[in-house]
Amino acid sequence: MQRFVVALMVAAMATIGFGSVAFASPSAWTEYIYDSSGNALKGVALPDSSGGSASFNFASGVYTALLTTSDKSLTGDLTGMTLNDTVTVSGVTGTFVDQNGDGCATAPSVRLYFNSGGTGEGGQRGFYTTFWWSNPVSYQLANGTGTMNVSLGDPSQWSDWNGTNGASVPDAFSTAVTKVHSVGLSFGGGCFFENGVTTDDGTGTFASVFTET
């Protein structure tokens, strides 16, 4: 599955840290959003977030693309680990919408995500394999609670920037897992995993409890 072209800006800027991204403490969580025009990236440091817990409110016209942390206790070499997240959505009275689904009908959802920073090896192919999304495991956004558990020891449960299944590039996947730069959640809908989602009436709260086992 091809990623949304603007999402390239999200992932790249989140990794190298320039433009309008505002970084929080490495132990805190940051929400990366598109503004109401749908084409400007902002990093919002979430107050009172640390360890595995974070939450934010949805806002009409503001699309959440990523929720990540660079906490050293949750990053680095994660070989053999399983990423777990319990998500709770509450107070939504409207409908979840994505920023640009490009004609696909997949409902807005959230899934596990990590990137290994840098540009990898092997030119453009190497760049693609520094970004990974859990696939097919995801949680369709709606009021309620759900848990995702995805092993980093099973590359077939992940796909990269270009939609390539990890089982097709096991060495590249394994390398990425040894040097995780940031980890967390990615929000998308339609054809894409990171094009951003919100609610059409701006209601609702999203809460995440992230662990590694």
DSSP-assigned letter for residue 127? H
Lowest mean pLDDT among 15-24, 67-76, 86-95, 189-198: 15-24
Distance CA 41, CA 145 (A): 28
Burial string for 72-104 (b: 16+ CB within 10 Å, else e) reads: eebbeebeebbbbbbbebeebeeebbbbbbeee
Over residues 66-114, the pLDDT tens digits come to 999 999 999 999 999 999 999 999 999 999 999 888 889 899 999 999 9
Q: CA-to-CA distance for 66 and 197, rounded, in angstroms?
A: 10
Distance separating alpha carbons of residues 72 and 46, to the nearest angstrom: 17
Predicted TM-score (pTM) of this structure: 0.85
Measure the CA–CA gap between 47 and 16, rounded to whole angstroms: 22
Asked if residue 147 has pLDDT above 50, the reply is yes
Looking at every residue in the chain, the average pLDDT score rounds to 84
36, 84, 108, 150 from 211: Cα distances, Å: 32, 5, 23, 11
